């Protein structure tokens, strides 16, 4: 089960505000380069700046999730009984 914590709430909120201000979804936003370069001149660099600014948080969250996964594995893994090989 996924915990609902501040990053889960704040991240989508920032994404939604950026989408609302820019008026463009990030995926089709790259199409703006060809379709409407005057709009893309602001949106595309701002989108990549957002990606770059979010990297440290993403790395930290990934490390934390991996540590929790390892801890849960160690706690829930069944203990193996030693079985002697048959000769």
Non-local (6+) Cβ contacts of 57 within 8 A are 7
Q: Is the dihedral of CA 44, 46, 54, 15 positive or negative?
A: negative
Within 10 Å of residue 67's Cβ, how many Cβ atoms? 10
Q: What average pLDDT score do residues 13-29 get?
A: 81
- Rounded to two decimals, the pTM is 0.51
Each residue's pLDDT tens digit, 25-44 = 878 888 888 888 887 888 88
Q: Which residue has the tokens 């893309």?
A: 40
Segment 47-56, tens digit of pLDDT: 888 878 877 7
The whole-number pLDDT of residue 44 equals 82
Residue 27 tokens, joined: 């995926």
Question: What tokens appear for 51 in the block?
Answer: 């990606």
Query: pLDDT value at position 45?
Result: 86
């Amino acid at each position: 089960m996924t915990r609902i914590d501040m990053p889960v709430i704040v991240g989508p909120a920032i994404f939604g505000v950026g989408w609302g201000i820019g008026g463009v979804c990030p995926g089709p936003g790259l199409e703006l380069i060809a379709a409407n370069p005057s709009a893309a001149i602001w949106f595309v660099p701002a989108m990549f700046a957002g990606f770059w600014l979010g990297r440290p948080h993403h790395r930290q969250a990934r490390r934390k999730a991996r540590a929790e996964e390892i801890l849960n594995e160690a706690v829930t893994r069944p203990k193996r009984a030693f079985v002697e090989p048959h000769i």
